[in-house]
């Protein structure tokens, strides 16, 4: 499965968790089918970049990025089956000579996704801010900030360490509680 090129980066856990582009290759991975998702973003602010990226003036950029993506996909497809689902983020300046890095997915969350508009009423109000929950060294987010191509091997759901302070509150060993 080849998905994309998506408008905007799909980097960090926050974006990947809600991405249809990456979701397509994650679903393929659940079936044992190799997949590669491509997304493109810019160092320019999203409110300025996206409208431009949807105009005819951006066609040379998309043509160049399609060539870069095709070259990366060819490497992956030649090695099939690998059992890998890959998430690739391309800076809008990428060409065939752009550095490529193998990265991990940054552990980040959204700064604010919704805003209360009234009692029980919320509107989408995302402003593009991400909150790091761990180091960014070696991640897809760091690669994007450096203007290089990031390639991350991804797999569906992962678990995290359960906080030791909460573990006793949730664990139950099957014995009835003492009376």
**What residues are paired with 153 via a beta bridge?**
86
Q: How far apart are CA 172 and CA 168, in angstroms?
A: 8
Q: pLDDT at position 139, please?
A: 95
Q: Average the pLDDT over 120-138 and give the result.
A: 82
129: pLDDT strictly greater than 80: no
**Contact (CB, 8 A) for 94 and 43:** no
Residue percentage of the chain with pLDDT more than 90 = 54
118: pLDDT strictly greater than 80: yes
pLDDT of 31-78, one tens digit each? 889 999 999 999 998 889 999 999 999 999 999 999 999 999 999 888
Which of 13-27, 51-65, 109-123 is least confident?
109-123
Q: pLDDT at position 157, please?
A: 64
Q: How far apart are CA 155 and CA 51, in angstroms?
A: 32
pLDDT of 74-109, one tens digit each? 998 888 777 788 999 999 999 999 999 999 999 988
167: pLDDT strictly greater than 70: yes
**Burial grade of 94 (CB within 10 A; 0-12, 13-18, 19 or more):** buried
**What residues are paired with 102 via a beta bridge?**
151
Cα dihedral 8→11→17→22 (10° resolution): 70
How confident is residue 137, by pLDDT bands cut at 50, 70 and 90? very high
- What pTM was estimated for this model as a whole? 0.83
């Amino acid at each position: 499965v080849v998905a994309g090129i998506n408008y905007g980066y799909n980097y960090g856990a926050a974006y990947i968790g809600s991405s249809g582009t990456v979701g397509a290759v994650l679903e393929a991975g659940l079936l044992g089918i190799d997949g590669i998702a491509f997304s493109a973003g810019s160092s320019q602010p999203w409110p300025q970049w996206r409208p431009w990226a949807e105009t005819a003036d951006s066609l040379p950029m998309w043509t160049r990025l399609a060539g870069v993506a095709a070259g990366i996909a060819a490497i992956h497809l030649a090695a099939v089956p690998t059992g890998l689902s890959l998430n690739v983020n391309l800076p809008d300046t990428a060409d065939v000579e752009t550095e490529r890095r193998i990265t991990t997915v940054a552990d980040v969350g959204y700064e604010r996704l919704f805003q209360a508009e009234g009692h029980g009423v919320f509107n989408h109000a995302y402003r593009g801010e991400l909150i790091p929950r761990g180091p960014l060294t070696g991640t897809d987010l760091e690669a994007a900030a450096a203007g290089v191509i990031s390639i991350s091997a991804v797999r569906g759901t992962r678990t995290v360490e359960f906080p030791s302070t909460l573990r006793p509150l949730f664990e139950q060993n099957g014995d009835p509680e003492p009376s």
